[in-house]
Amino acid sequence: MTIDIVTIFPAMVEGALAAGIVGRAIDRGTLDVAVHDLRDYTTDRHRVVDDVPYGGGPGMVLKPEPVLRAVDAIAGRRGGALHVVLMSPQGRSFSQAVAERLSRTAHLVLLCGRYEGVDERVMSRVDEEVSIGDYVLSGGELPALVVVDGVARLVPGVVGDEESVRADSFSRGLLDFPHYTRPAEIAGSLKVPDVLVSGNHAEIRRWRKREAVSRTLARRPDLLAHAALDDEEREILRELQGGTRADEGASDGRD
């Protein structure tokens, strides 16, 4: 999969892309990510990318021509179909379903705005607008990195263990169970649950399912409507809903 990112802060994006699972996928060539400095697509001596808004008002607007030139250059260089995404508070919310759909496109272009946003005429080359949530950020760079991370994990070969990708929280519609590592006890009081050190793998699997279902019921009951539960999980859910209502705290008090 190929991803092109257009930004006025290439260093900010490149730094983040070099780390972790995504960085390794880029190094190995499983993922081809290129970051483009919007200023390279200006034609004036001062490489100006912004201008005052028509109609007046505060702030600056990203000029359309550099953005359109960048998209044209990327299209020309890469050839084939592009899917152009503008990171924008006006976009539809990024979700696991959107990540899955975008991961099936061969070539993504992510446009990062700044200031008050981009000149609306850029929309002539945009296929969709995506937001990462209802809070105010200063630009599209962090949202683009979120999209790259979420999408890249779904590209075959990026995450070593395909099984773990399928099992991931939002793929199944359940929250994760609690994790512990050594030591089994800290300061004589903070203990790992006995079941996890018991070595009884059937018990451990059941305990994890119960924890995942009870946490989801307590914290994100909205997820249960679309969750892909197996028979055992469904039974656990019935049990938990039976005695106590979710809003009274169905689990062990931690949730």
Does 248 participate in catalysis according to the annotation?
no
What's the rounded Cα separation, in Å, for the pair 72 and 217? 48
**Structure token digits, residue 52:** 């005052």
DSSP E strand boundaries for the chain: 2-7, 32-37, 50-51, 61-62, 83-93, 107-112, 128-131, 185-186, 190-191
C-beta of 125 vs 209, nearer to ligand JD8: 125
**Structure token digits, residue 144:** 């683009």
Catalytic entry in 114, 125, 153, 210: 153
Among 45, 80, 124, 138, binds ligand JD8 (CB under 6 A): 138
Would you count residue 150 as binding ligand JD8 (CB under 6 A)?
no
CB 117, CB 139: distance < 8 Å = no
Among 1, 67, 82, 88, binds ligand JD8 (CB under 6 A): 88
Catalytic entry in 39, 89, 128, 149: 89
Does 24 participate in catalysis according to the annotation?
no
C-beta of 9 vs 115, nearer to ligand JD8: 115
What crossing angle do the helices spanning 231-243 and 201-219 adopt, rounded to 10°? Answer: 50
Among 107, 113, 125, 152, binds ligand JD8 (CB under 6 A): 113
Scan residues 166-225 and list those touching ligand JD8 (CB under 6 A).
none
Does 89 participate in catalysis according to the annotation?
yes
Would you count residue 140 as binding ligand JD8 (CB under 6 A)?
yes
Does 10 participate in catalysis according to the annotation?
no
CA angle 173, 179, 181 (to 5 degrees): 160
Would you count residue 143 as binding ligand JD8 (CB under 6 A)?
yes
